[in-house]
């Protein structure tokens, strides 16, 4: 039985995430009982992936308000005016927004909740409970909407690639694609973006093999994508980040398919570090380069990639690899360790978490609304049809 891993589980008022720092060796769920827990989980990358962090931030906010409504007596900000409620929750939303800077899904979720707050205050005629309930409903829909739209974008993108390959006179069966990082159910509320695209090709029997990079230094590929592809029984091959050029030289790869953390108005796309390298190599080998992401990842306020804030992770994270001690001992739980691969206290470590792929290297941008391509001779996208 094929079973996708869940990044977030909710039941009643309980909120849990799978601790991605322990994957793939241990599947351990961690309770999220406060907005501080959610902030810490996002910042420390116990949960990661643009849509998943937006979902967790929103759900922890919903949990916070739900608990407050159930409290007896209720906290002061729920017994007074809607302006008091607003003054109390706006800083909480800003706090959650600060947890990680590059993925705009989180910022969009926070913007959406601030908008709901404003509208609900205007509509509620002073009823604080009504405002709190409107916020809870909106926060839950941030997470709930994710799975459906992932399936839509995966189908749009998959069909587009099959047609493209056929139009070039090749068979649309057995497509080989390379992906970077982890974009599956662990990075989203379910199904995934680029990994959803791969899953769609697999489900419709049009996938040859899914190749994926290890994605150093955090190894989202070898730790997380490997696990997801294995649990989905999708034929796959891992490649080290340094092997992408060799892969393109020696194997027929039909497309590189990646997710995104933020897409600027012109189509420049921030995604996991190493994505730009893959795009340059794909262009050299005339391989389609496809970005698959929800509308919530498009930031129309930013004209191009130079305006995208890039998170730099602590230098130490690039000096360590996290894994289980090998060889495994029969019958014993894997011992998880962090191994230092550099001399201690190494000075001078460059560790950006993301890079920006210029639009001119991207063949198609796919959202739940459809597929955008660049007009012949143009170096940027008109994304109006897909946002």
Looking at the Cβ atoms of 8 and 187, the one nearer to ligand MRU is: 187
Phi, psi values for residue 202, rounded to 5°: -65, -45
193 touches ligand MRU by CB under 6 A: yes
Q: How far is the CB of 48 from ligand MRU (least distance, A)?
A: 3
Among 5, 38, 51, 197, binds ligand MRU (CB under 6 A): 51
Contact 217, 317 (CB under 8 A): yes
Clarify whether 261 is annotated catalytic. yes
Contact 165, 172 (CB under 8 A): yes
Going across the sheet that includes 262-264, the strands are 298-299, 262-264, 269-272, 354-357
183 touches ligand MRU by CB under 6 A: yes
Among 15, 134, 181, 287, binds ligand MRU (CB under 6 A): 181
Size of the site for ligand MRU (CB under 6 A): 17
Distance between CA atoms of 224 and 186, rounded to whole angstroms? 8
Looking at the Cβ atoms of 85 and 181, the one nearer to ligand MRU is: 181
CB count within 10 Å of CB 337 equals 13
Q: Tell me which stretch binds ligand MRU (CB under 6 A): 49-57, 152-160, 329-337, 363-371.
A: 49-57
User: What are the angstrom distances between the C-alpha of 66 and each of 61, 82, 134, 216?
Assistant: 9, 16, 11, 39
Looking at the Cβ atoms of 89 and 260, the one nearer to ligand MRU is: 260
Q: Tell me which stretch binds ligand MRU (CB under 6 A): 75-83, 152-160, 187-195, 342-350.
A: 187-195
User: What are the angstrom distances between the C-alpha of 306 and each of 45, 265, 269, 303?
Assistant: 25, 11, 10, 8
Q: Residue holding tokens 């609304």?
A: 369
Cα distance between the two ends of the chain: 36
Among 66, 82, 99, 188, binds ligand MRU (CB under 6 A): 188
State which residue has the least CB distance to ligand MRU: 259
Distance between CA atoms of 200 and 203, rounded to whole angstroms? 5
- Beta pairing class for 175-179 and 207-213: parallel
Q: Using CB under 6 A, which residues numbered 241 to 260 contact ligand MRU?
A: 259-260
| Number of residues that make up the chain | 387
Looking at the Cβ atoms of 53 and 128, the one nearer to ligand MRU is: 53
CB under 8 Å to 347, separation ≥6 — which residues?
none
103 touches ligand MRU by CB under 6 A: yes
Distance between CA atoms of 12 and 58, rounded to whole angstroms? 16
Looking at the Cβ atoms of 13 and 352, the one nearer to ligand MRU is: 352
Among 21, 32, 50, 54, binds ligand MRU (CB under 6 A): 50
Q: How far is the CB of 376 from ligand MRU (least distance, A)?
A: 28
Q: How far is the CB of 322 from ligand MRU (least distance, A)?
A: 13
Exactly one of 37, 152, 261, 355 is catalytic; name it.
261
353 touches ligand MRU by CB under 6 A: yes
Among 48, 149, 156, 209, binds ligand MRU (CB under 6 A): 48
Distance between CA atoms of 82 and 87, rounded to whole angstroms? 9
Catalytically annotated residues: 261
Give the residues lining the site for ligand MRU (CB under 6 A): 48-51, 103, 181, 183, 187-188, 193, 220, 259-261, 271-272, 353
């Amino acid at each position: 039985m094929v079973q996708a891993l869940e990044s977030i589980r909710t039941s009643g008022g309980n909120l849990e995430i799978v601790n991605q720092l322990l994957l793939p060796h241990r599947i351990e769920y961690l309770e999220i009982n406060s907005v501080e827990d959610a902030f810490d989980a996002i910042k420390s990358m116990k949960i990661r992936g643009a849509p998943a962090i937006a979902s967790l931030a929103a759900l922890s906010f919903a949990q916070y308000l739900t608990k407050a409504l159930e409290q007896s007596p209720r906290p002061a900000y729920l017994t007074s005016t809607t302006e008091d409620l607003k003054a109390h929750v706006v800083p909480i939303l800003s706090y959650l927004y600060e947890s990680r800077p590059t993925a705009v899904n989180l910022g969009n979720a926070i913007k959406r909740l601030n908008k709901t707050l404003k509208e609900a205050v205007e509509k509620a005629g002073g009823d604080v409970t009504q405002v709190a309930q409107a916020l809870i409903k909106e926060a839950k829909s941030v997470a709930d909407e994710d799975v459906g739209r992932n399936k839509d974008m995966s189908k749009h993108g998959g069909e587009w690639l099959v047609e493209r390959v056929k139009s070039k006179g090749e068979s649309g069966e057995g497509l080989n694609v390379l992906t970077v990082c982890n974009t599956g159910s662990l990075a989203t509320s379910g199904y995934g973006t680029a990994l959803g695209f791969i899953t769609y090709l697999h489900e419709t029997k049009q996938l040859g093999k899914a190749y994926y990079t290890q994605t150093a230094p955090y190894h989202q590929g070898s730790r997380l994508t490997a696990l997801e592809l294995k649990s989905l029984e999708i034929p796959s091959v891992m490649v080290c980040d340094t092997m992408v050029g060799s892969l393109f030289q020696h194997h027929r790869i039909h497309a590189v398919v990646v997710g995104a953390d933020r897409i600027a108005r012109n189509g420049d796309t921030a995604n996991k570090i190493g994505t730009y390298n893959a795009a340059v190599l794909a262009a050299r080998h005339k391989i389609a380069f496809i970005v698959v992401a929800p509308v919530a990842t498009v930031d129309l306020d930013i004209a191009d990639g130079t305006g995208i804030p890039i998170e730099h992770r602590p230098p130490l994270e690039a000096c360590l690899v996290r894994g289980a001690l090998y060889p495994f001992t029969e019958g014993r739980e894997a011992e998880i360790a962090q191994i230092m691969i550099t001399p201690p206290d190494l000075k001078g470590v460059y560790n950006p978490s993301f890079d920006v792929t210029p639009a001119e290297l991207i063949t198609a941008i796919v959202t739940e609304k459809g597929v955008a391509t660049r007009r012949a001779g143009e170096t940027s996208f008109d994304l109006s049809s897909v946002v």
